[in-house]
Structure 1
Amino acid sequence: MAKVQSPCIGVCKFRRPGPAGTHCIGCSMTREQKKIAKTLKKGAAAEAFVALVIAQQSVMGGYRHWRAAYLKRSLKKGRRVAEVVRGAG
């Protein structure tokens, strides 16, 4: 089974006011979630983690650019796209 691409899209900036400041402006993950994402490479756990990030993005709003950037990064690295992203719009 090929590795699932991490939800990170390589922006990694935490410069927003308030509670949103603990979330990356590129992917919506917190620093702790980014550490977890590095340990999850294959299987259902990686797929579930990407689904969690997508759900988190929808609650926080403002991450419409993420899907296209995720797909581009996956293609560039030759990694498998999480099923939850493949099936989305």
Structure 2
Amino acid sequence: MATKPMTKTQLVAAIADAMEADKKTATAALDAVTDIITREVANGGAVTLPGVGKIFCRERPARQVRNPATGEMIEKDADKVVKMTIAKALKDSVNG
């Protein structure tokens, strides 16, 4: 049975414990990492988190999609999506 995802508060507490620092410092560190990743990916770059994976932005071309309510085919404009490739080390630790 799957457990609930870790909340930001729990993550901050775990980071503070691992860094042997207070929660205010851990929150600042987590917010800084989040801001850097967001800024880099929004500008079309990619960020690799060693042992976790690579976060990047990919462009999707314009395409035909079906409206599930009516069955009508409509044209969807090109857009961008954020993707993440999981590192082999993380996959191995989960499956091993």
TM bucket, shorter chain = 0.3 to 0.5
Instruction: Specify which structure has the higher proportion of helix.
Output: 1
**TM-score, with structure 2 as normaliser:** 0.31
Structure with larger RCO (C-alpha < 8 A, sep 6+)? 1
Larger Rg: 2
Instruction: Specify which structure has the higher proportion of strand.
Output: 2
